[in-house]
Structure 1
């Protein structure tokens, strides 16, 4: 009975989010409240349990990076990068999109994808405003590029960190096994952008000429604060990359970096908190509680076990089923709790399959990471970008994102299929 109630609450909440008739934060909080009210979960499981509770690492990682970005914004560095990018692209819209996509994907391989979009989105708003371009296609392309690029490394996407921990995989393992495919996917995605967003590539020679005449160095308003901010950001990035050695969670690193930046500069606490997307953080809390209810009642586990039992020890079938099932489920359930639930099952399958079974980890990573592009709530980065877009007066609807995301997911997962089969099976 509890499982039926949990599924009903989640489905209704998902439909309301998709219809966009009610604010998504209200929906998430309402769904979380019903899960608690009906005793599907309780305070202990919702707020403190690692398996079914709110993933505070994600929430505080977001909070810390939002504070760092808020301080960086006051230096004028985003205007600098916007002008630099527009000048290098010579005002050509498609060339600019490719440049931003490559920058985003590359950064996401070293930073987590949420941090990357927090840094790149403000630049995108500025450069699109300079060139009179619609910002929505660029934001959608960037968030998808961040999810693709983040697939390449251990620290690039939160699900990868979970997989590495459970599977005993190193930073280099991800580079060797996934990075080659990600490069191919990124090239294909850039080509797809030319067709998907063809309506947005209107070249304005007057705007381009005015941008080419700008001097990007003049955009920097506070050189000292910029130097301090970049120093702290550099330390934070280094700590992210050295996570396997330092053993500090990304959330701890982000909070320490934010605290150091506020304490060591003239920026006030109020100024540092101005750019924090509080509705987005609250939305994540509500979403985690709802998904935790599904985990607690065994719904997600039952689905995962059914998929595992269906394969009956056939490694090739298990790999393909895991890849596509993970992509499908990650499209409707945030890929972090999904991977957290699925990883113990995959660990059992890998143990039974022997050395060749490691391919199942790569199938899980590719399915979860690439499947996150399919819908507006499939990955944390998607939710963050949509929240920032709404705050800046250019909301991206659930279906606007999803109609592009489903196609990109189908193409990228389809390309991952022969890669896994030919290389490992």
Structure 2
């Protein structure tokens, strides 16, 4: 296959894969189209077999980590951790929608950072709906906060987002150094999101205040909480020892799984479902298709747009490019495309890509799979999401949070060093 044909085939298949991931016709898993597409680019010669194998080997540990974290989050939910969070928010809010928004920001940011953005979207958003209803508050500001924070608040740790895992592997940073460099951008981005959402939904936050919840809050599941803390400690330790962090995540999931199985709170098939194996297959197949696109010309085209250096201007340009690309082709393919181009520049450029692909998707539905998943969760609660409102909020939030977080990253690089 000549270069032009290989490029055309790769691009068409990538668009098909992304389109089906967004639309999910007949509710079919994303992998139904992605896996055959990966096979097609290999069979047609658009990507050499050894390149496909190398991409699979690179993504394998990342996908294993993702599966372990998803299982850990689901088992925490089975233990009642998210239900307890809802009770805590209702009690502390004392009937105030504005106070509830602060608590949702604290909870969603923590859950996203520690248990990944999927936990915030799938497990916490329904709890926030119930908590708002319990207080007689309008749910919209708090539910929108969940989707924005599932993206923006996933900047802190390598475990917070699949894009982070990919960037972490490419950056060459340790777990603790990654977190140290991203701590200030994380805080700045969350503060910017809070200011925008509070102002955007001021009318909703001033209305619908109810009486404080009087029911007894559920007890905090300490075993699950301690397991999560232990898993985080294990992630730091494995980073120091040079061991793949997927082992620490798998250990935490295994501990909770053993307890849940012994107490008959779950079943082996339920644990397997929690690992989201079809989605993991989708990620692997998508990586191969994106690699085919990169090998057949996209890398050269984007390479001319990526500035060299890690000055403030260069970091901002990289972040904006990443944000635009995330909204055009989704943030997961965007990070797969940009990492090979920015990794040789240094960790600063890689982290700037991460700012773009994590904050930028708040602009459109198609920016991240988490946002698409959030939209389905919201619809299940009979709540309409207005496209115009979503986009206006996204414009304010992204245009505020992205440049401020890039400046914060630049400061972190000057103080800590890349």
| Other-structure match for 1:319 | 315
C-alpha separation in 2, matches of 1:318 and 1:171: 25
Alignment of structure 1 residues 3-42 onto 2, 5 Å = 3-15=7-19, 20=23, 22-23=25-26, 25-26=28-29, 29-37=32-40, 39=43
| Offset of residue 189 of structure 1 | 0.9
| Other-structure match for 1:233 | 228
Matched, 1:289 2:296: no
Secondary structure class of the residue paired with 2:55: coil
Matched, 1:273 2:270: yes
C-alpha separation in 2, matches of 1:43 and 1:201: 53
| Offset of residue 169 of structure 1 | 2.3
Q: 1:344 aligns with which of 313, 331, 340?
A: 340
| Other-structure match for 1:130 | 134
| Offset of residue 190 of structure 1 | 0.6
C-alpha separation in 1, matches of 2:98 and 2:126: 19
Q: 1:150 aligns with which of 144, 149, 154?
A: 154
| Other-structure match for 1:87 | 91
Matched, 1:256 2:251: yes
Q: 1:111 to 1:322 in 2, by over 3 A?
A: same
Alignment of structure 1 residues 145-184 onto 2, 5 Å = 145-184=149-188
Q: 1:185 aligns with which of 166, 186, 189?
A: 189
For structure 2, which runs of at least 5 residues remain unmatched after alignment?
none
CA contact (8 A) 2:170 2:343 kept: yes
Q: 1:82 to 1:423 in 2, by over 3 A?
A: closer
| Other-structure match for 1:303 | 298
CA contact (8 A) 2:112 2:120 kept: yes
C-alpha separation in 1, matches of 2:356 and 2:183: 15
Tell me the C-alpha RMSD between the 2 structures: 4.2
Secondary structure class of the residue paired with 1:212: coil
| Offset of residue 126 of structure 1 | 2.9
| Offset of residue 90 of structure 1 | 1.7
Q: 1:268 to 1:246 in 2, by over 3 A?
A: farther
Count of residue correspondences: 406
- Structure 1 length normalisation: TM-score? 0.76
C-alpha separation in 2, matches of 1:367 and 1:269: 38
Matched, 1:363 2:364: no
| Offset of residue 266 of structure 1 | 0.8
Shifted more, 144-153 versus 263-272: the winner is 263-272
Secondary structure class of the residue paired with 1:373: helix
C-alpha separation in 2, matches of 1:283 and 1:164: 21
1:38-66 superposed Cα distances (whole Å, 9 cap, x missing partner): 63589996998352589455554454444
1:361-413 superposed Cα distances (whole Å, 9 cap, x missing partner): 33223223322433445445445545655666668688875664454223322
- Structure 2 length normalisation: TM-score? 0.77
C-alpha separation in 1, matches of 2:197 and 2:49: 42
C-alpha separation in 1, matches of 2:71 and 2:169: 28
Q: 1:234 to 1:337 in 2, by over 3 A?
A: same
Secondary structure class of the residue paired with 1:214: coil
CA contact (8 A) 1:111 1:240 kept: no
